[in-house]
Structure formats: C-alpha cells, structure tokens
Chains A and B, each alone.
Chain A
Amino acid sequence: MLANMMIPTEPIGSIPRPIPLIQALEKIDGTDPALDEMYDEAIRDTIQRFEATGSPVITDGEQRKYHNFWTYCVHGLPNTAPDGFKIPFSAGHTRRMPRLTGGPFRYKRYADAYLDVALRYAKVPVKQAVISPSALSLMYPADEIPGYPRDQFIGDLLAEHEKEIRSCLQKGAHKVQIDFTEGRLAVKIDPTGNLLHRFIDLNNMALSRFSAEDRTRIGVHTCPGSDRDSTHSGDVDYAELLPSLFELKAGNFYVALAGEKDRVRVLKIIRQHIKPDQRVFVGVVAPIDPHVDTAEEVRDRVLEAAEYVPVEQLGTCDDCGFSPFCDDTTTTRDTAFAKIRARVMGTALAAEMIGGR
C-alpha cells in the first residue's frame, strides 16, 4: 500500500554509522581494506532496517562515504592538501575542505560504486546522493594554481560530475540527488546573491547535459547544513534561495522544511516559484531535532504542505541526512530509523486523507 501511495516519500541519504565502524575509522584510514567487512555489514544492516521502516525508496545510509557527503569523492587525492576552507557550524565547530594543489581535477571515486553494493542487498528502489559541482568548486584556492587555470578546473569539475550522475543513472538508481547545501551558504557568503546565481549556473551547466527524461530522475537537495544537531546557514532566509533554486534544471527538489520556523512562508515561496514539471519533496522530519516525530505530526505537516503545493507535485523527505559527516554520533541509528518510519507513516496517512477528500 505504501509503495503505491499518491505522495512519494524519499530519504535524503545518510544514516548514522554503527559505533564500531566510527571507532574503527578513528584509528585507521577509511580506505583501508581491513574495513571492508565492517562497511558491508553496516550497509546490509542499514538497508535491512531502512526497508523495515516501509520506506518505498531507500539509500545505503552513506555508510561508506568517508568522511562526509561533501568530500567523499576527492578524499585521498594526491593533488589536494587538507588545509582548505573551514565551514563554520552554528554549534561552534567547523568542517575543513580539502584544497586543490594542482591539475587536472579528477574524482578519486564515484558514488555509483556505493550503488553497486547497495543494489546487491536492496529489495526496494535505491536512490544515490552525489555532491554538487558548486560545493566542490570551493576546493580551488584563492590564488590561481600555476598551469591549471580556474576556468579549466570548472570544466573538469563539470565533466566529473556528469560522469558520476550518468553512471548512477545507468546502474539503476531510482533517483540521483545532488546535495546543494551550499546554496544557502552562498547567500550567507555573498548576500548580493551573485554567488548563488553562479552556483545555480554551474549546476545548470551540468544538468543541461542530461535529457529531459534523465532529469526526471535527478533531484537537488538543499538544507542549511546538518552536523552535530546544528546548521551552517540556518539563519539565511529561504526567500533568498528558493526563487533561484527552482531555476535549476532538475525534476525534483528536496527542501528542508520541518526545521524551519515559518513553514507556511516557505511553502508559499515554493508555490510561487515551482515549475509545472518539477516536484518538491518537503522535509517533514528534522534530523537535527532529537525528538522522534510521530506519524500524526508528520501527517499534519504533509497536509499543511498540500495546502500550498499541488499534491501531484508534492513529496516528502527528511530535512537532511541523519549523519552527513561520518563521525557524527549525535543521532543514533534507532532515532534515525524511527523518524524515517514516522515520515513514511505520516506521509501515508496524509495521502490517505487527501485521497479520501
């Protein structure tokens, strides 16, 4: 019944890693083959529990995305240095980006490798999250790298991003979700909106390389960041982001909403800017909120969203991944799956109610 419900619901991606894995990662590098067995077990368990929630679409919980959703693809590249930018979070901690030290720019790994493993265990459709080119663009340092101009870097970045998405689509990902959490960060860095527009441009340049049919399976996720129950740009008004966000040439948008103070205002903005061929998945549970939502709470949020967004363009999701950074232990796996179950059930309840109107 859930699989056929009229309001689709999808996870964003990450699930907190099992504690033994987190502890092992503190001691040895994430690429060490000695961890393979633990990774596989974590993925298998995650998928099993994910499917147990009734979620019609699942992820591998990003169990193997060391160290995080942002740098998984460049981690370990020889032409990088660890002293990139620090992204400050509201909880007071920072996350540091790697810095590109030379060209050419190539991914170290592609997310379709995670999909390969997940599809071995999954019985329901699997979506795969990838990092946006705009996020990775921040790896290029302030001073131009001799012999590898910034323009060339942008070109290489787009090519690598396209390659990653195309591989995921070809391997059967239910959706490919581009993590665009830096959208609000861009507004925060450049309140004029210029940087955001350029980020939109960059991502659109990548999206333009796909057919309309492909783009129905591509989505963009935006949130204010989520790490250790805090955000990096939660203070940025959605009104500054969403109008530009819906300019992206994607078929699906995953917008964090549950954690917003004024959800109706955001929904109105969405209603105003969403295009007919786009579907918006609104966040109905907030991973940074330790409270495990009830299905009814979720149902009400869905019904609220349905007041402003045409139901045929509406879907639900989590506000964000439950553990975008692998060492984040602020949320347990149990909590995460409980909240996911609430999302699934609440969405189903709402759909039932909407369908019965």
Chain B
Amino acid sequence: MEEVESEEKLLRSVALQNAESILVARQRAEEQLSAAQEALQARERELSLIYSNVSDVIFYLAAEAGGRFRFVSVNQAFVAATGLSEQQVVGKLVDEVIPEPSRSKVLEHYAAAARERRSVRWEETTEYPSGTKVGEVSVTPIFDAGGAFTHLIGTVHDVTERKRAEEMRIRLAAVVESSDDAILSKTLDGIIITWNQGAARIFGYTADEVVGKSVTILIPPELGNEEQTILDRLRKGERIEHFETVRMRKDGTRLNVSLTVSPIRDASGVITGASKIARDITELKRAAQERESLLEAERAARAEAERASLMKDEFLATLSHELRTPLNAILGWAQILRSREHEDEELAEGLSVIERNTKVQTQLIEDLLDMSRIISGKLRLDVQRVDVQDVVKAAVASVRHSADAKGIRLQVVLDPLAGPVRGDSNRLQQCFWNLLSNAIRFTPRGGTIQVGLEPVNSHIEVCVVDSGQGIKAEFLPYVFERFRQADGSTTRRHGGLGLGLSIVKHLVELHGGAVRAMSDGEAKGATFCIELPVMVMHSGEPNMARQHPRGIAASSSVPDHPSLEGVKVLVVDDEPDALNLLRRVLEECGAQVFGATSAREGMSLLRRERPDMIVSDIGMPGEDGYEFIRHVRALSAEEGGRTPAAALTAFARAEDRTRALRAGYQTHVAKPVEPTELTAVVASLAMKR
C-alpha cells in the first residue's frame, strides 16, 4: 500500500513537472500563434490591399446547383474594367452580369475547371465601356474539406497592351527581317545577339553561325581595333551615324558599308548593348568611282577634243602656210618667166624652183590623202615580196641630193643577210623616205645621218640615226601623233604638216611591224627604228607578174626614161594643158601620141589609129573615163577592144583605183605623175600588147 502511494506520488510529481513544461510549450506555442495570427492579419491586410489595388481583375464566385455561379466579391479593377459597380455585381448570378455571347463561353470554362478540378485559362476579347480589351482569364476551383466544389476564383490579366506590343514587335521584326540592310544587335562586349536576313545576305553567315560570337569576325584584320573604338563610343552613349568603313564577308571578300550604331538602354536607362545597321555601299562606291572615272574621262576627252581642235586649227594654219609657200614660189617664178626676156640660166633656175615646189606641194597633198585613207581605214597595201635593202637604197637615193645640198653626211650600212619581207614596197619606201626626210630636215648642216639595216631575231630593223636637234623627253611620247610637231608655232623653223611620222606609224603597223623613236634630248640627235617581220621563205621565184608598176619604178634597175620608140599611144584628157604635157613627155621618149580631148574623140582615134595602148583621164565632161573604157572593152580585139589602158586621174583613193581596174583599165596612175613613172607605165603596158 505504501508502495502504491509512493508510486502515485512520484507519478503526480512527474505529471506536474511535465505539466509545467507543457505550459511553457503552450505559452511558446501561443506566442507563436499570436505572432502567426498577427502575421496572418498583416497578410490579410496586404492581400486585401492587393485585392483592391491590383491592376488585374479578380472575382470570387460561389458555385450553386445547376451549374450556376454567383458573384461573392469583385475587386476595384473589376469595377474599373467593366464599368459596373460592386452593388451591381456582388450577389448576382453570372447570367445576370455577363451578357451573351461571352456568358456561354465563360460558363463552359467554369464547368471545365470544376469538372477537371484544375485551373483553366483562356484568352477573352471583351468590349468594355473603355474600349476593346484582351484579357488572359484564369479560373481556379476551390473545394471544401470534403472535396466538394464550392467556389471559383478568377483573374483577368489585361494583355491588350502586351498584345499590341507583341503585334508591334512582330511587325517590327518583320520589317527588320525584310530589310535589305544588315540589322544586328550586340552586347557591349561585341557579342552578336540578333542577326536578320539582310545580315545573312550581306555577310554570308546564317544567324546560327554568328549569334553568340564576337562581331569582330566581320572586321578585316587590317582595320585593327576599330570595333573597340566603336564600343568605347557606345559605352559613352554616343550614336555613330553613317560611318563608312569596310567589312568582311564569310568568304573573306571585303565590302564597303555605311554603319549606323546606336546604344540600347534598358528600362533604367543603362546601356546594355547596341543595335547596328550596316548598309552595303559597295555598289554605290563603285558607281561613284565609275561616275568619277567617267567624269574624268569626259574631262580628258573634252580636253583632248579641245586640244585636237586647237591642233586642227594649228594644222590648218600650218596647212595653209605649207600650201601657200610653194605656190608662192611657183607663182612668183611663173610670173617672172612670163613677164620678161630671161637668160637660160635664169630660166633653168625658175623651172627648178617651180619643179621643186610642185613636188613639195604634191607630197603635202599625198600625205593628206594618205592620212585621210588611214583615218577612214581605206588605206590598202599592195603586198608582195619585198627586198628591203632595195627599198632602203631607193629611199636613200631619193634624198641623197637633199642631204648633199645640206652638207649632211649620209652613212648607209645594209646587212646583206637581211631577208625579204612581205609588204608594199612603195609604202615602205615612203616610210623610209619620211624618216630620212625628217632626219635631213632636223639635222643641221654638216651633221650626219646613219641608215642601218639588219636582221634582229624574227624581224628586220631599219634605223635612221641623226645628229640633229633631237626630241624633248616630254614630246617623245607624242611624236607619232598626227598634226603633232614639237614646234607648233607660226615661226617654227621647219616646214611640213606633222603628218609624216603618223603615216609612217600606221603604214608600219599595217605591215605587222612597229616603229619607235628615241632621243637623249634636245641637241642630242634622234633615232627612229622600223621593225618589220621577216617573210616566211617559200620555194620558187617570186611572182614578178604581180609587181606594181610603181614598184617597178622604185626599182633601181629600171631606167629613168625607157624608150617608147614605135609605140603608139592614145591619150584622152579634157584638159588641154594636161594633154599637152602627156604628149610632150611621151613623145620625148619616142612614142607616137594621138591626143583626144573627149571620150568620143578617143573612140574615133582608137578605131582609126589602132594605138598600142591608151592613157585616159577619168573625170571628163560628158562621157567619163569609166564609160570610155567600157566602150573600148565592148569592141572586138580587131577593133582595139583589148588595147591596154592606164587610168590617169586625180581620183587617187584606193576605191578609185579599184573602180578604174574594174571598169577595164589595166592600171591606175594618180595625178600628178612623174614623167618617169608615166613612161614606165606606158612602156610596161605596151609590152603586154
């Protein structure tokens, strides 16, 4: 019994001690509860404030039988959005507040939330008094402790602005994407964040290849730290506009770009990156350069045209002078010789002057015609096998007298091994004569001229080296231009039209050769060299039958005045002076000449006298030389229809020659003609008979 009492006492002691601890624990729990309640109340106040002031619409619905819902509470945002007062809504059924067609839709969503026991979200476009709003609606079912569905809490988040912004963003993105310019954004460390189609097109990289990489992959290494400079300026908030620079495509090629770089700021204004617009201006640059080039070319062309015009004016002045100078001598001496009695010596001098000046004038006209042929592209070569040595000798022979007269020593060194070339011997002689004439003209009395001919590799080189006044270095590049003379002034010392070297250049080039001029400068002489390609050697004798009469004339083996003894020549020319001159020249060689001043008379004489050959002018009144020869050729051989004929005419162009030959003449000789040439032609044709 005592033990039981002791046990009970001890139990009581323990129990009461525990009670103290429990009390302490309870007090602590109460304190915690109190604190929790305070926190809860504070939280409730906060929630209430939030509920009232949150911008999202919040509504609380009680679920009722029959799938109906009644408004328990709504917040201020609901009132503001719907324009309905709390009194108009709270306690009312959804059916009474929300009109169709929205009502059916929202009730379906409410039912789904209750049935599926989960939150349901959808987007709702609603017409409010304040305008059309797009809201993200969310309703969450609430269940009691027994799991029964009792309430719905719903929120509507106004996404009208977000939608608008999103649409704007999409529109802007589409604009950016469709832009021809490269548009990209990057961080302040130069890391690419966005990359549009334009950028892909311009630089060749896809977005996947560059996003996340440094923009320096677009910068050519030679531009060094340009990007760093750009980034430094961006960090300071600077905008870089229309900065023209060079960028590098994926394939390493460069392109000119115009950059506009703007800092990107976050909502607080802190610069976080940059947008960059790069416009490919490569084509613009090229077009600008092209335009500049064209302008430059146009300026140059205009300058050249002006220069050419000036040169032409100078040339005309020169031409006038050059034509008048010999005419003056001719006219003067002709008047002297006519006006008085004169000694034989004086007569001879006068005739010599007239002859010389006539030749000068002839050469002037010949040069002008050649230049005309060259310009019109109608210069034709009578190409044959030509022994250049002979041609050079003939040219030297033709100027030797002039050189001797001026006391100039003419040294000729011709390599006998130099082979033949293919060319027009007359034209080649014209070229060499031209160089030699120039050399004599520009070499002072007592000077020397060396003429050399030698084979060099696959061509033959003919050089004329003089000790004359030389050529200024600045004029040297232009010596072969027509109408160019180093001294273009009216007081120049040397005559000529300035066409010779230009003709030489064209003729040599027509032969497949080249001509070059060298000079160490003024008073240091000049060297002109003509290179002609060596003719490929063929077996067999050259076809002498094709040699041109003038070629024959140029040959040193042909006598100056062949004998025309016994040759009957019919000469037709409407100009009595010309007719008489021809008659005189031919008769001096022993020919029997029948002169006719018209085609009709010529035909009559042909039938009657049966000449060995015919020399006829072309330009005649009435029946011209072409018709005349056609009538002749229409005759039988017995009647003289096969009589060889030469056209002698001032129509000296290549096409005139061709026309003459086609009409029936065997040869064509341009006026004026040297007596020796005329006699040679007549002799040649007479032999054909």
Q: Are A137 and B11 in contact (CB under 8 A)?
A: no
List the one stretch of B15-23, B188-196, B285-293 in contact with chain A: B15-23
In which size bucket is the chain A interface? 20 to 34
Residue interface mask B19-53, A partner, CB < 8 A = 1: 11111111001000100000000000000000000
Residues of A within 8 A of B10 (CB): 85, 142
Q: Are A85 and B18 in contact (CB under 8 A)?
A: no
Residues of A within 8 A of B15 (CB): 137-138, 186, 189-190, 195
What separation, in Å, do the CA atoms of A155 and B33 have in the docked complex?
A: 16
Residues of B within 8 A of A155 (CB): 25
Q: How far is the CB of B11 from chain A (nearest CB, A)?
A: 5
What separation, in Å, do the CA atoms of A208 and B14 have in the docked complex?
A: 25
Instruction: Enumerate A183-220 residues with CB–CB distance to B below 8 Å.
Output: 186, 189-190, 194-195, 197-199, 201-202, 205, 208, 211-213, 216
Closest to A215 in B: B145
B157 within 8 A of A: no
Q: How far is the CB of A330 from chain B (nearest CB, A)?
A: 22
What separation, in Å, do the CA atoms of A35 and B146 have in the docked complex?
A: 40
Listed from nearest, the 10 A-B pairs whose CB atoms lie closest are A198-B19, A213-B145, A198-B22, A201-B26, A150-B21, A202-B22, A137-B18, A85-B11, A189-B12, A154-B21
A205 in complex: contacting residue of B11, B16, B26, CB < 8 Å: B26
Other contacts beyond A154-B21, A190-B12, A208-B33: 9, CB < 8 A: A88-B7, A88-B8, A194-B16, A195-B12, A195-B16, A201-B26, A202-B26, A205-B22, A208-B29
Instruction: Enumerate A105-160 residues with CB–CB distance to B below 8 Å.
Output: 137-138, 140-142, 150-151, 153-155, 158
What separation, in Å, do the CA atoms of A208 and B33 have in the docked complex?
A: 10
Q: How far is the CB of A20 from chain B (nearest CB, A)?
A: 34
Q: Are B25 and A189 in contact (CB under 8 A)?
A: no
Q: Are B23 and A201 in contact (CB under 8 A)?
A: yes
What separation, in Å, do the CA atoms of A188 and B26 have in the docked complex?
A: 22
Residue interface mask B586-603, A partner, CB < 8 A = 1: 000000000000000000
Q: Are B11 and A198 in contact (CB under 8 A)?
A: no
Q: Are A154 and B25 in contact (CB under 8 A)?
A: yes
Q: Are B18 and A198 in contact (CB under 8 A)?
A: yes
Closest to B143 in A: A213
Pick 13 A–B contacts, CB within 8 A, sort by A: A86-B7, A94-B7, A137-B22, A140-B17, A151-B24, A154-B21, A190-B19, A194-B16, A195-B15, A195-B16, A198-B22, A202-B25, A205-B26
**B residues at A contact (CB < 8 Å):** 4, 7-8, 10-26, 29, 33, 145-146
Closest to B3 in A: A86
Given contacts A142-B13, A205-B29, whether A88 and B4 have CB atoms under 8 Å apart is yes
Q: How far is the CB of B257 from chain A (nearest CB, A)?
A: 68
Q: How far is the CB of A205 from chain B (nearest CB, A)?
A: 5
Residues of B within 8 A of A213 (CB): 145-146
Q: How far is the CB of B3 from chain A (nearest CB, A)?
A: 8
Residues of A within 8 A of B33 (CB): 208
What separation, in Å, do the CA atoms of A212 and B143 have in the docked complex?
A: 13
Closest to A140 in B: B18
What separation, in Å, do the CA atoms of A334 and B10 have in the docked complex?
A: 40
A189 in complex: contacting residue of B11, B24, B146, CB < 8 Å: B11
Given contacts A150-B18, A212-B145, whether A205 and B25 have CB atoms under 8 Å apart is yes
Q: Are A201 and B22 in contact (CB under 8 A)?
A: yes
Residues of B within 8 A of A158 (CB): 25
B25 in complex: contacting residue of A151, A190, A212, A216, CB < 8 Å: A151
Q: How far is the CB of A169 from chain B (nearest CB, A)?
A: 13
Q: How far is the CB of B596 from chain A (nearest CB, A)?
A: 148
Q: How far is the CB of A3 from chain B (nearest CB, A)?
A: 17
What separation, in Å, do the CA atoms of A105 and B542 have in the docked complex?
A: 139
Residues of B within 8 A of A195 (CB): 12, 15-16, 19
Given contacts A85-B10, A212-B145, whether A138 and B18 have CB atoms under 8 Å apart is yes
Among A85, A153, A186, the one with the most B-chain Cβ atoms within 10 Å of its Cβ is: A85
Given contacts A141-B14, A189-B12, A208-B29, whether A198 and B23 have CB atoms under 8 Å apart is yes
**A residues at B contact (CB < 8 Å):** 85-86, 88, 94, 137-138, 140-142, 150-151, 153-155, 158, 186, 189-190, 194-195, 197-199, 201-202, 205, 208, 211-213, 216
Residues of B within 8 A of A189 (CB): 8, 11-12, 15
Residues of B within 8 A of A198 (CB): 18-20, 22-23, 26
Q: How far is the CB of B1 from chain A (nearest CB, A)?
A: 11
Given contacts A201-B23, A205-B25, A208-B29, whether A154 and B145 have CB atoms under 8 Å apart is no
Q: Are A142 and B14 in contact (CB under 8 A)?
A: yes
Residues of A within 8 A of B17 (CB): 140, 142, 150
Q: How far is the CB of A235 from chain B (nearest CB, A)?
A: 14
Residues of B within 8 A of A150 (CB): 17-18, 20-21
Q: Are A194 and B14 in contact (CB under 8 A)?
A: no
Closest to B25 in A: A154
Residues of A within 8 A of B4 (CB): 86, 88
Residues of B within 8 A of A94 (CB): 7
What separation, in Å, do the CA atoms of A83 and B12 have in the docked complex?
A: 16
Residues of B within 8 A of A186 (CB): 15
Residues of A within 8 A of B146 (CB): 213, 216
What separation, in Å, do the CA atoms of A211 and B19 have in the docked complex?
A: 26
What separation, in Å, do the CA atoms of A86 and B16 have in the docked complex?
A: 16
Q: How far is the CB of A353 from chain B (nearest CB, A)?
A: 27
Q: How far is the CB of A311 from chain B (nearest CB, A)?
A: 19
Q: How far is the CB of B146 from chain A (nearest CB, A)?
A: 8
Closest to A192 in B: B16
Q: Are B19 and A140 in contact (CB under 8 A)?
A: no
Residues of A within 8 A of B19 (CB): 190, 194-195, 197-199
What separation, in Å, do the CA atoms of A201 and B26 have in the docked complex?
A: 6
Q: How far is the CB of A195 from chain B (nearest CB, A)?
A: 5
What separation, in Å, do the CA atoms of A88 and B8 have in the docked complex?
A: 9
What separation, in Å, do the CA atoms of A153 and B24 have in the docked complex?
A: 12
What separation, in Å, do the CA atoms of A154 and B13 have in the docked complex?
A: 16
Among B4, B12, B22, the one with the most A-chain Cβ atoms within 10 Å of its Cβ is: B22
Residues of A within 8 A of B23 (CB): 198, 201
Closest to A202 in B: B22
Residues of B within 8 A of A138 (CB): 11, 14-15, 18
Q: Are B29 and A199 in contact (CB under 8 A)?
A: no
Q: Are A140 and B14 in contact (CB under 8 A)?
A: yes
What separation, in Å, do the CA atoms of A150 and B20 have in the docked complex?
A: 9
Q: How far is the CB of A346 from chain B (nearest CB, A)?
A: 28
B22 in complex: contacting residue of A142, A199, A208, CB < 8 Å: A199
Q: How far is the CB of A234 from chain B (nearest CB, A)?
A: 16
Among B4, B10, B20, B145, the one with the most A-chain Cβ atoms within 10 Å of its Cβ is: B145
Residues of A within 8 A of B18 (CB): 137-138, 140, 150, 154, 198
Residues of A within 8 A of B16 (CB): 190, 194-195
What separation, in Å, do the CA atoms of A208 and B15 have in the docked complex?
A: 22
Q: How far is the CB of A28 from chain B (nearest CB, A)?
A: 29
Q: How far is the CB of A109 from chain B (nearest CB, A)?
A: 23
Residues of A within 8 A of B20 (CB): 150, 198
Closest to B24 in A: A151
What separation, in Å, do the CA atoms of A138 and B15 have in the docked complex?
A: 6
What separation, in Å, do the CA atoms of A213 and B142 have in the docked complex?
A: 14
Closest to A214 in B: B145
What separation, in Å, do the CA atoms of A153 and B17 have in the docked complex?
A: 12
Q: How far is the CB of A40 from chain B (nearest CB, A)?
A: 34
What separation, in Å, do the CA atoms of A137 and B13 have in the docked complex?
A: 12
Among B4, B11, B17, B29, the one with the most A-chain Cβ atoms within 10 Å of its Cβ is: B11
